Copies of this chain bind each other. A is one copy, B any other.
Amino acid sequence: MSFVIVGSLAFDTIETPRERRERIVGGSGTYCALAASFFTRPKVVGVVGTDFPKGTIGLLRSHRIDIKGVSRRSGKTFHWEGCYGADPNMRTTVRTDLNVFAGFKPELPPSYRSADILYLANIDPDLHGPVLAQVRRPKLVAMDTIRFWIENKSEAVFRELRRVDVFFANDEEVKLLAGDNNLVRAGKKLLERGPSIIVTKKGEHGALVFGKEFIFGVPARPCEDVVDPTGAGDSFAGGFLGYLDKVEKITPREVRRAAVYGSVVASFVIEAFGIDRFLTLTWGEIETRFREFKKLVSF
């Protein structure tokens, strides 16, 4: 099949209790594409400034990621700065410089327009329409969103929910959007708003996947050293959707396995700053950890 990701390519400045890293490469599109590249050949749509490293473009290419949809514009690349507390689930945004991302109008190259799976990473929900208009009958459309859009454009988020099959969000966002403090009720309420699958990401507590006729719970891999949680959610989505693209089947069984592969890839990403762990990650490591997940939950 074919998998198109629309998201950001960015610089992140990250502070954890132990370390600070300035302007390292990040972005929802970058993480998602690298994660998916272990399963399929994803195509990315995004925009970078003239300061975006050629080395990273080379890295994406070496992972067989199609970057025809990434345009380079004069100006600076999107820059996000965030700070994590002792609890890595807690993060504060220090600043956001949209830069060239401010005027982002996603344009899909012709070869992208027959995408089977389309992932709208955390972008302005008002950009979804123009993207969807460029894609011919995708088999599966997925979106992610964040608190900012839920708080500022909730109507647009709800409108877009009606057009997607899979909705990714963290547990706080699912509760906020559904207006319900109980995650299970909240997940079920969102199922009634359009998507057939709601994936709630709970950081160190794993993920809960709500389908029309099943619920699947996967714990996070117990991790002794979370170096940098940035990108875990987008890597989860990349592993999840990349796997579905690879197996070409969207059955409950494959959705469950997709969620485990999402968790597996996310469990690697948090072991190093930024996208560093992707530089050494191998398929063998992913398969080994998939089997470890089986052991972790089997009884």
A residues in contact (CB < 8 Å) with B: 86-87, 181-185, 187-188, 202, 204-206, 208, 214-219, 222-226, 253, 256-257, 259-260, 293-299
Shortest Cβ distance from residue A88 to the other chain B in the assembled complex, whole angstroms = 9
B204 near A222 with CB under 8 A, answer no
Q: Enumerate chain B residues within 8 angstroms of A188, measured Cβ to Cβ.
A: 224
Q: Enumerate chain B residues within 8 angstroms of A217, measured Cβ to Cβ.
A: 206, 219, 222, 296-297
Q: Offer 13 A-B interface pairs, CB within 8 angstroms, sorted by A.
A: A87-B181, A184-B222, A185-B224, A185-B225, A187-B222, A205-B205, A215-B222, A216-B296, A216-B297, A218-B297, A219-B219, A256-B299, A294-B299
When chains A and B are docked, how far (Å) is the Cα of A184 from the Cα of B225? 9
Shortest Cβ distance from residue A292 to the other chain B in the assembled complex, whole angstroms = 9
Number of copies: 2
Contact of A256 among B216, B259, B294, B298 (CB under 8 A): B298
Shortest Cβ distance from residue A257 to the other chain B in the assembled complex, whole angstroms = 5
CB closest chain-B residue, reference A260: B299
Beyond A256-B299, A297-B297, 8 additional pairs, beta carbon < 8 A? A182-B224, A185-B224, A215-B222, A216-B299, A217-B219, A217-B297, A253-B299, A256-B298
B184 near A223 with CB under 8 A, answer yes
B299 near A184 with CB under 8 A, answer no
Shortest Cβ distance from residue A103 to the other chain B in the assembled complex, whole angstroms = 40
When chains A and B are docked, how far (Å) is the Cα of A214 from the Cα of B298? 11
Shortest Cβ distance from residue A198 to the other chain B in the assembled complex, whole angstroms = 12
When chains A and B are docked, how far (Å) is the Cα of A86 from the Cα of B206? 22
A296 near B215 with CB under 8 A, answer yes
Contact of A182 among B185, B215, B219, B225 (CB under 8 A): B225
Q: Enumerate chain B residues within 8 angstroms of A182, measured Cβ to Cβ.
A: 223-226
Shortest Cβ distance from residue A141 to the other chain B in the assembled complex, whole angstroms = 23
